[in-house]
Structure 1
Amino acid sequence: MNIDYTVTALMFPAIPLIMGVYSNRFHTLSSLIRKIHDEYVFEKHTPPEWKDQLINLEKRIGVLKLSILFAAFGFLFNMLTVFGLYLQELFIARIIFGSCCLSMMISIIFFIIEIQISTKALRLHLSDMDIQFKE
């Protein structure tokens, strides 16, 4: 494969878009955690699935952190590819660009895992409603 600035330029729109998605997920997750915290501390309200929710939130935070971390490495590797091309180090630029693609793939895999965990969290919220509906 012949690599040049055009190939690396393909990643520039993708990386900020995916980082925006991750930032929105992180913001939503932090808002949810603050809301649950306030309900617990100020209103002394503890839902029945409290422990499961905490475990789920901790998993989501960890997985989302890894998603963001690998996307950031992907962005860094993409910039290093441009720098390698600038220095006319084609072999090194190819290796670094491969690292960029690999980092982005790992980031997306972690994001898919986070979506599965968040789906489980939604099921936890529905479970208490399901119990009340059956009664």
Structure 2
Amino acid sequence: MEITFNTPALLFPAISLLLLAYTNRYLALAALIRKLHDEYMRGEKNHLLVKQIKILRLRINLIRWMQAFGVFSFVCCVLTMYGVYQQWKVMTELAFAISLITLLASLVISLVEISQSTRALEWELSDMEELEGPGFFKNLFKTERE
């Protein structure tokens, strides 16, 4: 396969949009953490607060890794373009492969973060419904007879 300037250039807008989405998730989490902190300082503690704090800490770390892999993927795309410019075939192919792999890692971590977010929302819903929510997959395969 011949890698040209156009090959890594295709990833530039995708990676940029992903990084923007990751930043938005981070900012939303930061706002939520600040809100929970204010509630905690006012003494408005509920039984879900400890669970929420653990999930939020995990989600912040996941977003950090999502962003890091996304940025590294972007850097590898730039290195790929430089390799094409210098006509370094092996370095170009290696940098592009690493770029794709790190982009994939970023997306997989994003999926894990989304599942953690969903889990936290299920706790909130179960608290409002006064029952434990069965979760997404149990509802997915649930028949109407049950």
TM-score when normalising by structure 2: 0.87
- Over the aligned positions, Cα root-mean-square deviation in angstroms equals 1.0
1:65-76 mapped onto 2 (5 Å cutoff): 65-76=64-75
2:6 is matched with which residue?
A: 6
Alpha-carbon offset, residue 55 of structure 1: 0.9
- Match for residue 114 of structure 2? 115
Aligned residues: 131
Partner of 2:87: 88
Tell me how far 1:107 sits from its aligned partner: 0.1
Q: Contact 1:82/1:93 (CA < 8 Å) preserved in 2?
A: yes
Which letter does structure 2 place at the counterpart of 1:26? Y
Unaligned runs of 5+ in 1: none
Q: What amino acid maps onto 2:101 in structure 1?
A: L
- Deviation of the 1:58 alpha carbon: 1.0
Give the match's secondary structure for 1:39: helix
Q: Which residue of 2 aligns with 1:129?
A: 128
Tell me the distance in 2 between the aligned counterparts of 1:62 and 1:124.
20
The corresponding residue for 2:136 is none
Q: Secondary structure at the match of 2:46?
A: coil
TM value normalised by structure 1: 0.94
Aligned AA (1:108)? L
Where do 5+ consecutive residues of structure 2 fail to align?
132-146
- Residue 30 of structure 1 is matched in structure 2 by 30
Following superposition, which runs of at least 4 residues in structure 1 exceed 4 angstroms of deviation? Answer: none
Instruction: Provide, for residues 67-86 of structure 1, a one-character-per-residue CA deviation record: whole Å limited to 9, x for no partner.
Output: 11100000000001111111
Conserved in 2, the CA contact under 8 Å of 1:67 and 1:108? yes
Q: Counterparts of 2:46 and 2:107 in 1: how far apart (Å)?
A: 32
- Aligned-pair identity in percent equals 34
Of Structure 1 and Structure 2, which has the larger fraction of its residues in helix? 1
